[in-house]
Structure 1
Amino acid sequence: MKTKLFTVIFTLAFLTLCFCACSQETPVTPDNSPSGLSLECTMSDEELGTYSYRPQITETMPVIHITTSDSDTSFATMYTREDKLSDSIEYVDAEIAVTDCEEDHLLTGAEAEVKVRGNYTLEYSKKPLRIKFSEKQNLLGLHNGEKYKNWVLLADWKDLSMSNNTTAFYLGKTILGSDGYYCTDFRNVEVYINGSYWGVYLLAEQQEVKDGRMSVPEVEDGYTGTDIGYMFEFDGYYIEERDMPNGSGDPTFEVNYVGQGGSSLQPGYTVKSDINDDSQLSFIQFFTENAYKMAYEAVNFDKHSAFNVSYTDIEPITGTSVKDTVSRFIDLQSLVDIYILNEICCDPDIAWSSFYMSLDMTEKGSKKLIFEAPWDFDSAFGIKYNYTNTVGMFAATTDNPWLRVFANEPWFIEMVKEKWCKLKQADVLETALSLIEEQQTVYEDYYRRNFSKWSERVDYGNHELTDEVNSFKSQGEASDHLSVWLRKRFEYLDERWG
């Protein structure tokens, strides 16, 4: 098989750890690169093909029509975050049609339920939506044409470029997807509700355990064993889920980090997959807490442990390296991939929420934590106050326990650099930049119409964003800012990893 060779010469420097992030003015970066190491990254044509994902960008933007049974549009405007906390947001019956697209993606009269979704995004005038079909449907060929009941429409309100999520999802589809991990597919659409124009949205997949979406199987109804698949989120909103009325929130648990990096780390997790018994919730709490404990102790104290055969306790082990120890219970390539993605995007939310993991404890499962399903990048790419710099290591120094625990391990940095080399060989970084420009050019009129409908976003800005970003008056200005910022970020990371 024809082979393409791309050689990376690692830097000779050995840099020390400091506490810096993309928010700092004069950052110093952790690197701990193996001194004098020279590695080659070699990809066959077959492996190179795993980086071939491209989003669909067409001259005519597809249209999703939502027609409610009562012809009332208030379901898309009336609810706020307070309504979510009181569990009072309701689905409305609707029919879904898809037009202005390829003939094989047209859809007419599909029965569904629709509601608004999100957390703080519910406070915005233009709210994200969730579609739940009565029967499985595919929308616009996403996910290789697979059919699912649940889909989401992201409003992209905060981000004036309307390209943060598309850029992050493209990078996620290539960085994680090339190694077999899940990231949502996506496509820009226009939305009409009961015949009224509602703006440009980003069609994406629901974050859920369904065949082809997450890497774990669904649990059978009524099954109470702990040998199942789990999907869960590092989630600062877990208290709100826990306190939802009538037990309507998702199950939650806490991890105790005291003595393992400090008690200031966000402790909460929300389980997003189905569980049928409290023992299953107790198990995923036990596994997660001890996986982090064992990883932290191996890195910081050279203390090595592993789960026993029955996964009911941990026991000491000897004669092993840190990498070999943690690879027993963490899928390291998935962590490398999600780490690279978050170093690129500099998303402040990763220290708080929208950070997903899965675990397959079934007979054929890996029984390792997998990091996948990246989500929610509307505050990323340098647009938020205190998170603007393109230089300095971000994920390595953030208060996300999983991203920082291995950030200065030489073997981990070696894995990062090997993956970075492949991303460059596959032109992923340059493609990300070209896609931003392509969206801006092809969809210029569509974006203009969106902000004519939602002019308050342009007129008043957003209190979380920088003055510079709030000064932009068009999608084009914001998109140009994203392109400049991202190119500088790529250049900085290439100095560290290239």
Structure 2
Amino acid sequence: MRKKLSAISVILFFTFLSTNIVGFSTQTFAAETANLSEYIQYEMPIVAINTDSDTKIDSDEVYTDAKISVINDDGKYEMSDIASSVKLRGNSSMYSEKKSYKIKFGEKQNLLNIGDGKGKTWCLISNCYDGSLLRNLTVYHFAELLDGISYSPNCRSIELYVNHEYQGVYLLCEDVNINKNRIAISEEPNEVENNGYLVEMSRYAKDNKFDIDTATYEVKNDLSQTQSIKNQQINYISKYIEKAYSALKSGNEKELRKYIDLDSLVDIYIGNEIVKNVDAGWDSFYMYKNAGGKLCFGPMWDFDLAMGNANCVKGFESWKGFNPYNILNVNANSNPWFCHALSKSWFRDLVKKRWNKLQGKINGLPKTVIKEAQTNYKSYCRNFERWDVLGKQVYIEPAEISALTTFRKHYNYLGSWLNNRIKWLTQYINSKDFKNGVFVNYNGKQLTSNSNLLEISPILALLNTSDVDLTYKMLPNIGLTLSIKNGGVESWNTQVDASGFMIEQGAEYVLSFDYSCSETRQLPLCIQQNYAPWAPYYSGELKATKEPQHYETVIKAPASDSNCALIFSLGGNTFNGTDVTINNMSLVKKSK
């Protein structure tokens, strides 16, 4: 939804390296019909995509030509066989059977009249890792109430058919791009200062990217085709953001207001903290600057792993405690804007005032979950006839969520989680501890820069090839146990990965963990780059037996790196038929 946009200031995902942690069921589901006029409709609108010659949509780079039809709530066609093109979209969701899609029309459209105006590109988000199918929709609707953020993507749930085959419930959503009806800033590809810029802070940045401190950014709008002008454009916006970031770090509110729309920073922090977004600093953190305007934050984007739906980082499933990635700038998943802002008493005061002003709207958030679920109940349930995923481990959701066997249990869980979260945050934000800059985690322990880096790192079993066959269980003391049937061919095919932590050149770190294997095996480990070319900083090999052993060593960092990983390689046939346990993992920076 497009909201206020001042004249002078017009205008996170991490994801996981696994290619096959736990897949969706591939059962077939007969299409309700092979004829567009015969679709069986429940409460939701229907979107039907039919590709030319029934071509399969199998690329996230190349568009496939298609015709799209849309049936509204009343069962009437809003459009029929409109020419378009479609491709896959997403990061971790690319490995799910239930794919997400991006649609591009030749002429602007306002699908189901949900937007504030027309646009050429739209998203169909599968929410394949969210058993409630409601997390993204809930956040986008809540973001509409945060008028410090000028725009929130308009969306609604629909049922999707692709080439006459039923695909389930999807979130039809506006794409994040520059448009007078979306992010309404100027777009002059051959201008530098007189141009608007849409920027994403992302660890996946590829093109038109730049680094500031520990974060990587990518310009998302079209830039000049002339390389020299493009270089000037990237240099201009990167220098502006760097000045804004430096002003934030210095703590001078008056100076900061010269560069940043503080209302947007306050609101986007509140939006991310309520839902305890695990991707806060990894990916999908957007900001924009209009020609002659200040840096603004938004829109909010990508929350399927939020609201308790991730067990890869200790405590993230809990509605208690602050998101450590908003407090501690010690991790590649950390959001440095939030970390530095929250260290300032004046910013915390702004958050408290804003929270209390929004209290009535915030309190109503759980009710919006229940209302949406009950209003469209039959359609949501039909999704799970197509995808047999309830009551199973689908991705990285905690055991409490994977045990939920019905859609009703999922939406009630989400509503309850939000209700408890809001009550906890309301009490803490109005406490003396928050005023004094004291933040606690899920168990009430104060978050400090001396925290165990692996306690706030995503810990995963990585199944890096399709032939790997194993099961795993997260352990309560920062670790996991794996039962490996087939580890693949190469040592890297199966890995235990604790990723995203930062190291500083010359600093010393104490690495420790407990380990065992049901059969005697050599256990290789490595601290390395968490990105290509995966260069190592430390490596070793231990003899693992069925008797638990403890390992501890001091490592001096040979370089500074904002995105590292601790890797145990368990692939090849070495560990086939064995159970491996790695527990009590710790990496702590030694005090000087």
Q: Could you tell which deviates more after superposition, 476-485 or 152-161?
A: 476-485
1:187 to 130, 133, 156: 156
What is residue 145 of structure 2 aligned with on the other side? 174
Take 1:433 and 1:105, find their aligned partners in 2: how far apart are those partners? Answer: 33
CA contact (8 A) 1:224 1:279 kept: no
Take 1:421 and 1:465, find their aligned partners in 2: how far apart are those partners? Answer: 31
Structure 2 length-normalised TM: 0.61
What is residue 246 of structure 2 aligned with on the other side? 293
Take 1:99 and 1:465, find their aligned partners in 2: how far apart are those partners? Answer: 33
Matches within 5 A, 1:80-479: 84=60, 89-102=61-74, 106-144=78-116, 146-175=117-146, 178-179=147-148, 181-220=150-189, 223-238=190-205, 241=206, 250-255=207-212, 257=213, 265=214, 267-276=215-224, 277-296=230-249, 298-299=250-251, 322-360=252-290, 362=291, 365-366=292-293, 368-385=294-311, 386=314, 387-394=316-323, 396-398=326-328, 399-424=334-359, 427-455=360-388, 457-458=389-390, 460-479=392-411
Question: Per-residue CA shift, 1:414-459, capped at 9, x if unaligned?
Answer: 22122222212xx32233211111122122221221111111x336
- For residues 180 and 401 of structure 1, do their structure 2 counterparts lie closer, same or farther at Cα, with a shift above 3 Å needed? closer
2:43 to 43, 56, 60: 60
Take 1:269 and 1:451, find their aligned partners in 2: how far apart are those partners? Answer: 37
Q: CA deviation at 1:71?
A: 1.7
Question: Which structure shows the bigger proportion of residues in helix conformation?
Answer: 1
Take 2:241 and 2:70, find their aligned partners in 1: how far apart are those partners? Answer: 42
Runs of 4+ in 1 over 6 A off after TM superposition: none
CA contact (8 A) 1:226 1:279 kept: no
Q: CA deviation at 1:271?
A: 1.2
SS of equivalent to 2:364 = helix
Structure 1 length-normalised TM: 0.72
Take 2:299 and 2:76, find their aligned partners in 1: how far apart are those partners? Answer: 28
Residue type at the aligned position of 1:326: L
SS of equivalent to 1:461 = coil
- For residues 104 and 370 of structure 1, do their structure 2 counterparts lie closer, same or farther at Cα, with a shift above 3 Å needed? farther
Take 1:421 and 1:105, find their aligned partners in 2: how far apart are those partners? Answer: 44
Q: CA deviation at 1:183?
A: 0.9
- For residues 105 and 338 of structure 1, do their structure 2 counterparts lie closer, same or farther at Cα, with a shift above 3 Å needed? farther
Question: Which structure shows the bigger proportion of residues in strand conformation?
Answer: 2
Take 1:463 and 1:156, find their aligned partners in 2: how far apart are those partners? Answer: 12
Residue type at the aligned position of 2:238: Q
SS of equivalent to 2:177 = coil
Take 1:282 and 1:408, find their aligned partners in 2: how far apart are those partners? Answer: 29
SS of equivalent to 1:179 = coil
Residue type at the aligned position of 1:496: Y
SS of equivalent to 1:482 = helix
SS of equivalent to 2:280 = helix
What is residue 43 of structure 1 aligned with on the other side? none
Take 2:382 and 2:43, find their aligned partners in 1: how far apart are those partners? Answer: 14
Q: CA deviation at 1:198?
A: 1.0
Take 2:91 and 2:395, find their aligned partners in 1: how far apart are those partners? Answer: 17
What is residue 6 of structure 2 aligned with on the other side? none
SS of equivalent to 2:112 = coil
Question: Per-residue CA shift, 1:50-91, capped at 9, x if unaligned?
Answer: xxxxxxxx972000111111123x21xx45xxxx5xxxx321
Take 1:331 and 1:107, find their aligned partners in 2: how far apart are those partners? Answer: 40
- For residues 412 and 100 of structure 1, do their structure 2 counterparts lie closer, same or farther at Cα, with a shift above 3 Å needed? same
CA contact (8 A) 1:105 1:139 kept: no
CA contact (8 A) 2:278 2:306 kept: yes
CA contact (8 A) 1:65 1:192 kept: yes
What is residue 312 of structure 1 aligned with on the other side? none
Q: Could you tell which deviates more after superposition, 439-448 or 268-277?
A: 439-448
Take 2:139 and 2:75, find their aligned partners in 1: how far apart are those partners? Answer: 29
Question: Per-residue CA shift, 1:346-372, capped at 9, x if unaligned?
Answer: 011112111000012x2xx32x21001
Count how many residue pairs are aligned between Structure 1 and Structure 2.
376
Matched-pair identity in %: 30
- For residues 59 and 487 of structure 1, do their structure 2 counterparts lie closer, same or farther at Cα, with a shift above 3 Å needed? farther
SS of equivalent to 2:144 = helix
Take 1:159 and 1:212, find their aligned partners in 2: how far apart are those partners? Answer: 29
CA contact (8 A) 1:359 1:369 kept: yes
Question: Per-residue CA shift, 1:109-159, capped at 9, x if unaligned?
Answer: 211101111111111111111110111111111123x11111101000001
CA contact (8 A) 2:118 2:181 kept: no
